[in-house]
Each structure stands twice: as C-alpha cells, then as structure tokens.
Structure 1
Amino acid sequence: MSLDDWIDPFQTSDGPPPQTLGAFMRWCLAGAWPVLWLAAFLSAAAGAMEAGTAWILGAVIDATVSAGPEQFFDGSNLALIIGAVAFFLLARPLLFAMSAASNAILVQPNVNPLVLSRLHRWTLGQNVTFFDDDFAGRIAQKQMQAARAVTDVTSEVINVVAFALASLAGSVALLVAIDWRVAIGFTFWLCLYFALIYWFLPRI
C-alpha cells in the first residue's frame, strides 16, 4: 500500500451529516483519524525541534567560550560537534520533511475527496423536491466549499497549531532547564497572550 492510500477517500459515512459544527467535522473525518494523529505528531515533533535547536546552539557556544576558539577543535568536543552536525544536517531536515510529506501527501489529497464524496453521496439520496428547491450548481458549489474548508482547517491545525504548541512546550522546558524563574515569567506572558487572542480573535 502506498502512502496516498493510507486514507480511503471514498469510504462511506454513518448516517446523515450532523447539524452542529464539531459533530459535522467528526462525521467528515471519520476513518481518517489515525493518519491525522500521525501527521499531528510529526508536526509537533518538528515544532519541538525548535527548542532542540536553541539548546544545541547554546551548548556549542558554551563549549566554545569555555575552551576558547583555538582549543574547541582539539578533540575534546568531538562528540558535541558530531552531534550538532548530525542534528542540523540529518535529524532536523528529515523530521521536517516527514512532517511536510504527511500533510501534503497523506492528509490534503485524501481529506478533500473524502469529505466531498460523503456530502455528494448524501445529496444523491435526497428526493426530487430537494433539487427543485435549489439550483444543482449551487448545491455542488456548497459541497465543494465545505470539502475545501474542512480540508484547510484540518491541514492548518496539523501544520500550525500542533507545531506552535509543541514549540511553546519545548521553549518552556528549555527555560526551566536554564532558570525556572524565567520560565515562570514566560508562562505568565503566554497566558496574557492567549487571553488577548481569546478576546480579540472572535471580534476580528
């Protein structure tokens, strides 16, 4: 089975589409959740890499300051140098590539036809008067718009929200390792930041 077959884009749904937003999203994405969780995990791991980047750079700088530029490459820091090179040239690019591939190959190309096929299948089961009350083109347009919207929301939650939350968690952990008092200040600022988003975003 190839990667693009991990989600069956034409699997049937259980019952009609619900009328509330959350239930409707679950109805649209039913059967795809294992792959979506995998993509979210890879995105979160890539986000956590940002804190790892800062930690490794800090370790290299500390070792350079401690040993001096002349003695840094004398062999005592060989493990640190190899680890930093492997992280920046192998581990970090590979994880970011896996995260991007999971979203671009597994999620986006399959979620859109999955939602669209379910909406279309349910629409075809309506009686004739259903189509008399609206233009077929408008009905098809609404199906396309709904499928695109669900796909965009799903992709962006994986690509942005999971990545950002993991980056924040990694930043807090890094600050705790440096100085817990700085971590408390950062956490307090973060709470204020989320409060501003909670207040302004619905109004915007």
Structure 2
Amino acid sequence: MSISNWINPFRPAEGPPPQTLWAFIRWCLAGAWPVLWLAAFLSAAAGAMEAGTAWILGKVIDATVSAGPERFFEGSSLVLVLGAIAFFLVARPVLFGLSSASNAIMVQPNVNPLVLSRLHRWTLGQNVNFFDEDFAGRIAQKQMQAARAVTDVAAEVINVVAFALASLVGSVALLLAIDWRVAVGFSVWLVMYLALINWFLPRVRKRAAGRAGARAMVSGQVVDTITNIKTVKLFAHADHEDRA
C-alpha cells in the first residue's frame, strides 16, 4: 500500500461539526491522527539533526586540534571522521527526505479533500432555506477556505512547529554542554521572542478573519451574479451588482 493512501481522504465524519475551534479541528482530522503524529515525529527528528550537526562538527574540530594534522586519520579520529561522513551523507539526507515526504505526500494531498468532503456532506444535508438565505458562492468559498486553513495548520505545525521545537530543545542541550551562561542568554531571547509572537498573533488573527469574511462575501456575490445572469439582465440589475 502506497504511503499516499495512509490517510483516507473521503472518510465520513462522525456527527455534526462542533462549534468550538479545537473541537472542530479534531472533527476535521479524525482518522488522520496516526499519520499526522508520524509526520510530526519525523519532522522533530529532522529538527534535532540541526543540533546534532553542530555537535558533530565541534567533535571533529576538537579532534583535529588535539591530534594534529599528522595523526588525525589514525585511531579514534578516523572512526569519528567516518561517522561524520555517514551522518552528513546518509542519515541526515534520509531523515530530511522522510520528513519532507511525509508532509508533501501523506498529509497535504489527503487532508484537504478529507476536510472539504466532510464539510460538503454536512452542507448538503441542510434544508433549502439555508441555501436561500446566503450566497451560493459564499457557502462554497467558506468550504474551500476552511479546508485549506485546516490543511495549512496541520502542515505548518508538522513542518515548522515540530521542527523548530526539536531544534530549540537540541540547541539548549548543546549550549548547556558548552556553557550554562550561554544557554541562559538563549533562554532569555526565546522568552522575549515568544512574548512578541503572543502579542502579534491575536491581532493578525483578527484581521485575517475579517479579510477571509470579506473575500468570501465578494466571491459569493460574483458567483451568484454570474449564476443568475439571466435574472440580473432581465430586471436590469447590472448597476446594482456593479455597486455591490
């Protein structure tokens, strides 16, 4: 079975979509969590490789300084060099490739249709008044926006958050091994950075929500105008649509 089929993109949802954010995300991604956790683990392992890179380079440099150029390729130094070559030419590329493949092949192509199909099934189950009271184009746009947003969140949490957290933990461990004072300085910077994100994120979220709503409304207006163009032309409503 191909890894691209590890998530069933058309698996039906259980029950109606919840009204709170995290419960809604869990509803959207139900059935895909084992693959998402696997992709997050591979991404975190690739992130930990970054700290491992600095550690191995440091070991090679220390061995070079202590052994000298004449005796560098003898004994334990040779083993260290061979290990570094295996790390950089085999282990690191393979792990980064697996991380990239898990996100680009297993997650993103399947999560989007999974969420979209669930939202579409739920929308089709509404009564006729639901469709009479809103733009058809806006309803369709909201489905597309929600599916893309959940897919982006899942992919970026795997691709960025898991990778970055593993890199941070590895960096702190490496700095502690070098000098605890450097690790303290890094921790102070990290706290300030997280505080900055915490200040900006709610403001960005608020404006993004307004932009998405306005975009869906405009899209709905355009789609409904074109869909009902005979009625628009029959009643000479072109100017009204233009102003809207």
Q: TM-score range by the shorter chain?
A: over 0.9
Check 1:193–1:135 CA distance in 2 against 1; reply closer, same or farther (3 A cut). closer
SS class of match (2:7): coil
Residue segments in structure 2 that go unaligned for 5+ positions in a row: 205-244
Matches within 5 A, 1:69-108: 69-108=69-108
Matches within 5 A, 1:33-182: 33-182=33-182
CA drift of 1:104 comes to 0.3
Query: Who is 1:185 aligned against?
Result: 185
Question: 138-147 or 165-174, which moves further after superposition?
Answer: 138-147
Residue 12 (structure 1) aligned with residue 9 (structure 2): no
**TM-score normalised to structure 1 length:** 0.95
CA drift of 1:94 comes to 0.2
In 2, Cα distance between the equivalents of 1:140 and 1:189? 44
Deviations 1:68-124, CA, capped at 9 Å, x for gaps: 223212344111011000000000000000000000010000000000000011011
Deviations 1:141-187, CA, capped at 9 Å, x for gaps: 21111101110111011100110010000001111112223222222
Runs of 4 or more off by more than 4 Å in structure 1? none
In 2, Cα distance between the equivalents of 1:148 and 1:24? 14
Question: 47-56 or 184-193, which moves further after superposition?
Answer: 184-193
SS class of match (1:77): helix
1:27 is aligned with what amino acid?
A: W
Query: Who is 2:215 aligned against?
Result: none
In 2, Cα distance between the equivalents of 1:141 and 1:200? 27
SS class of match (2:101): helix
Ranked by relative contact order (alpha carbons within 8 Å, sequence separation 6 or more), the top structure is: 1
**TM-score normalised to structure 2 length:** 0.80
2:199 is aligned with what amino acid?
A: W
Query: Who is 2:239 aligned against?
Result: none
Report the count of equivalent residues: 204
Residue segments in structure 1 that go unaligned for 5+ positions in a row: none
Q: Which of the pair has more CA radius of gyration?
A: 2
RMSD of equivalent CA atoms = 1.3
Check 1:130–1:200 CA distance in 2 against 1; reply closer, same or farther (3 A cut). closer
